[in-house]
Amino acid sequence: MSWLDTANLNLRKRRRRALYFKSICSLFTWSCFVLLAVLLVHVGHKGVGLIDVDFLRNAPSWRPEDCGIWPAIAGSLWMMGLTALISIPCGVSAALYLEEFAPKNRWAHLIDVNISNLAGVPSIVYGILGATVFVRFLALEQSVLAGSLTMSLLVLPVIIIASREAIRAVPSTIRHAALALGATPWQTVVHHVLPTALAGILTGVILALSRAIGETAPLITIGAVAYISDAPAGPMDSFTVLPLQIYSWTTKAQSEFQDLAAGGIVALLVFLVIMNGIAVWIRHRAEGNAN
Amino acid sequence: MTQMKIQPNKFNQGSEPEKEAPDPRQDSALSAEHVTIRYGNTVAVDDVGLAFAANQITAIIGPSGCGKSTFLRAFNRMNDFIPSASLEGAIRFQGIDIYDPAVDPVEVRLRIGMVFQKPNPFPKTIYKNVAWGPQINGFKGDLDELVENSLRSAAIWDEVKDRLHKSALGLSGGQQQRLCIARTLAMQSEVILMDEPCSALDPLSTGRVEDLMLELKQNHTFVIVTHNMQQASRASDYTAFMEAGKLVEFDHTEKMFQNPSNQRTEDYVSGRFG
């Protein structure tokens, strides 16, 4: 006779507890979902009707009915492009160096900790840094370039961390296989480590850039302004971005401007969905290639 | 890059072709002299001296953790990638100390190939797996031919000839390991180190890998680390027995398994421990 025969198994109570726990989890999940849905429906209800060709093509105006968001969309695209150009090479190189080449000593550890900390620094701090260094010291004024450099600072830690994770996930057996065939560490990285890590790196990069596209605070700090009547034509032009435009409309008293803000939010959401869609697509492709 | 002055078959010149297995001390492709390897302060390999005969198969056996894999990796400088590992003593490949600062470790790994414990094909096509090593090292000849010959030598050509441009990850474990061997053969390295190459394979695939070694030893020198005593006795000409980082005994395989000089060797090969 084993202890099992006399033990109080309490199966009913245990099953009930499991059920409670499951219910609480699903309750929280659904309440998040409902909140988001309410927000989307509310904004969509007000905003979707506003979006037409004129809204996408026009510049902001004092008259709500003439208002459009073209300069903000163009500004966002400019800033995203420049930020990507600056931050991806820097971030991926840094991640590669730290993971593959840097000696694993106390300095490496110190840099590690600092990058993680930088990822948590409030964006306004980067804004102040950008205003001091890029806008004033380098005299870039309120240009797209100054904004992109500031945004690059903001997203770099995120890109570095995500890329490092992806690089670390590449099995070391692949590195050893390449090295044992007489590859230099550099060839090993370029031909095998980077392509294998690409899906993860790109996902991290796009998520980081999605964050950049929604940021407002650092751009307010460097003095990007909401009333811009022309799309920027070059990196030294002044600019505005979608979230700034939305913010400036919400601060206005007339309710028509509130509706315009809703339209802007819908545009921004569409933008984000497209970006995340691209991220999923790239990931799919890269994973498909690997197999 | 410092060129190692390597003359092919240097060790077979001057001496008459022998029927009997050559004495490794005189006709060695690769030798270790007083090699001590440490991980930090832990000694993994303790003052081991050993010479591998050219065009022969040498097996290294011993219980887990005896340092045999560490020792093997020292011969193509794969331990360089373990930051805490350090080596004392000398490892000579055709007379040159491969740990001499003037020697480029990349060239060492070109000359001394390695097959790993777990099949590790690149996540690329079968063709690219074989072609990549020669390509990055400036191969100028007919790549298709080299790939085919290598796959044929590794006895996998018939199984993959219709799917050369499909992913190598679709192959079975045994096929993957033979692909890894083909990849190493494509480099035409003089020496091929094998680190428990059959431990992830079924008996049938294991048999094929052993047959391969026996066929290929005309052109290559093999050193194989194995846990499988039958494999050592079946497939090798020489056997080295290591225990706790030390070389206990090294001799002709027949002698090691039938009439070893050392009591520990006898206990181990007869399955009394390990």
Strand B57-61, strand B238-243: pairing: parallel
What is the mean pLDDT of the segment spanning B142-147?
A: 94
Express each pLDDT in A89-140 by its tens digit.
999 999 999 999 888 888 888 998 999 999 889 999 999 999 999 988 888 8
CB-closest option in A182, A184, A291 to B169 = A291
Structural contact between residues B244 and B71, judged by C-beta atoms closer than 8 angstroms: no
What is the rounded CA–CA span in Å between residue A283 and residue A285? 5
CB-closest option in A174, A176, A191 to B78 = A176
Count CB-CB contacts under 10 A for residue A288. 9
- Residue A246: which of A270, A230, A262 has the closest Cα? A262
CB contact under 8 A, A176 and B120: yes
Express each pLDDT in B211-269 by its tens digit.
989 989 998 999 999 988 889 999 999 999 999 999 999 999 999 999 899 999 999 98
Structural contact between residues A275 and A206, judged by C-beta atoms closer than 8 angstroms: yes
- Residue B117: which of B192, B11, B199 has the closest Cα? B199
Single-letter residue type at A222: I
Structural contact between residues A245 and A60, judged by C-beta atoms closer than 8 angstroms: yes
Count CB-CB contacts under 10 A for residue A23. 10
What is the rounded CA–CA span in Å between residue A168 and residue A162? 10
Q: What is the CA angle B233-B236-B238, rounded to 5?
A: 100
pLDDT for res A2: 86
pLDDT for res A260: 85
Q: How close does chain A come to B183, measured CA to CA in Å?
A: 8
CB-closest option in A103, A104, A181 to B183 = A181
pLDDT for res B25: 46
Strand B246-252, strand B42-53: pairing: unpaired
pLDDT for res B238: 94
- Which pair of tokens denotes residue A228? 């811009």
CB-closest option in B81, B121, B167 to A291 = B167
- Residue A266: which of A32, A61, A45 has the closest Cα? A45
CB contact under 8 A, A180 and B116: yes
What is the rounded CA–CA span in Å between residue B73 and residue A218? 52
**Neighboring chain B residues of A181 at a CB cutoff of 8 Å:** 109-110, 113, 132-133, 136-137, 183-184, 187
Residue B15 lies in a domain: no
Up-side HSE of residue B9: CA atoms within 13 Å toward CB?
A: 9
- Which pair of tokens denotes residue A144? 């797209």
- Residue B249: which of B269, B265, B233 has the closest Cα? B265
DSSP code for B167: B
Residue B138 lies in a domain: yes
* Torsion angle in degrees (nearest 10) through CA of B42, B44, B50, B54: -130
**Neighboring chain A residues of B114 at a CB cutoff of 8 Å:** 180
Residue B4 lies in a domain: no
Q: Which helix (H) or strand (E) holds B90?
A: strand B85-93
The CATH number that applies at residue B84 is 3.40.50.300
**In chain B, which residue's Cα lies nearest the Cα of A289?**
B124
Interface membership of B53 toward A (CB under 8 Å): no
Average model confidence (pLDDT) for chain A?
87
What is the rounded CA–CA span in Å between residue B152 and residue A5? 63
Interface membership of A285 toward B (CB under 8 Å): no
pLDDT for res A261: 86
pLDDT for res A226: 64
Residue B3 lies in a domain: no
User: In this model, does residue A145 exceed pLDDT 80?
Assistant: yes
CB-closest option in A104, A174, A191 to B120 = A174
What is the rounded CA–CA span in Å between residue B250 and residue A179? 30
Express each pLDDT in B168-177 by its tens digit.
999 998 899 9
CB-closest option in B113, B121, B137 to A180 = B113
Q: How many CB pairs under 8 A join A and B?
A: 63
**In chain B, which residue's Cα lies nearest the Cα of A191?**
B132
CB contact under 8 A, A181 and B116: no
Residue B128 lies in a domain: yes
- Residue A98: which of A189, A179, A178 has the closest Cα? A189
CB contact under 8 A, B109 and A177: no
Write out the DSSP string of B60-85: EE-STTSSHHHHHHHTTTGGGGSTTE
CB contact under 8 A, A192 and B110: no
pLDDT for res B6: 41
**Neighboring chain A residues of B110 at a CB cutoff of 8 Å:** 181-182
Interface membership of A45 toward B (CB under 8 Å): no
Average model confidence (pLDDT) for chain B?
86
End-to-end CA distance of chain B: 44
- Which pair of tokens denotes residue B147? 């790939």
Contacts of B1 (CB under 8 A, 6+ apart): B104, B106, B107
- Which pair of tokens denotes residue A109? 């550890």
What is the rounded CA–CA span in Å between residue B133 and residue B188? 10
Residue B13 lies in a domain: no
Structural contact between residues B93 and B29, judged by C-beta atoms closer than 8 angstroms: yes
Residue B7 lies in a domain: no
Structural contact between residues B138 and B185, judged by C-beta atoms closer than 8 angstroms: no
**Neighboring chain A residues of B179 at a CB cutoff of 8 Å:** none
Interface membership of A178 toward B (CB under 8 Å): yes
- Residue A205: which of A283, A144, A261, A265 has the closest Cα? A283
Write out the DSSP string of B173-195: HHHHHHHHHHHHHHTT-SEEEEE
What are the beta bridge partners of residue B74?
none
Express each pLDDT in B15-59 by its tens digit.
444 444 445 444 678 899 999 999 999 999 999 999 998 899 999
Structural contact between residues A173 and A222, judged by C-beta atoms closer than 8 angstroms: no
Count CB-CB contacts under 10 A for residue B95. 13
Interface membership of A283 toward B (CB under 8 Å): no
User: In this model, does residue A284 exceed pLDDT 70?
Assistant: yes
pLDDT for res B131: 94
- Residue A262: which of A35, A51, A61, A73 has the closest Cα? A51
The whole domain housing B239 covers 25-269
Residue B274 lies in a domain: no
ipTM: 0.83
| A:187-226 residues touching chain B, CB 8 A cutoff | 187, 191-192, 196
CB contact under 8 A, A183 and B187: no
**Neighboring chain A residues of B113 at a CB cutoff of 8 Å:** 180-181
CB contact under 8 A, A191 and B132: yes
What is the rounded CA–CA span in Å between residue B134 and residue B137? 5
Structural contact between residues B235 and B156, judged by C-beta atoms closer than 8 angstroms: no
Write out the DSSP string of A146-181: HHHHHHHHHHHHHHHHHHHHHHHTS-HHHHHHHHHT
| Global confidence as pTM | 0.79
Most A CBs within 10 Å, among B77, B122, B177, B187, to test the A interface: B122
CB contact under 8 A, B120 and A177: yes
State the total domains in chain B: 1
What is the mean pLDDT of the segment spanning A153-172?
A: 94
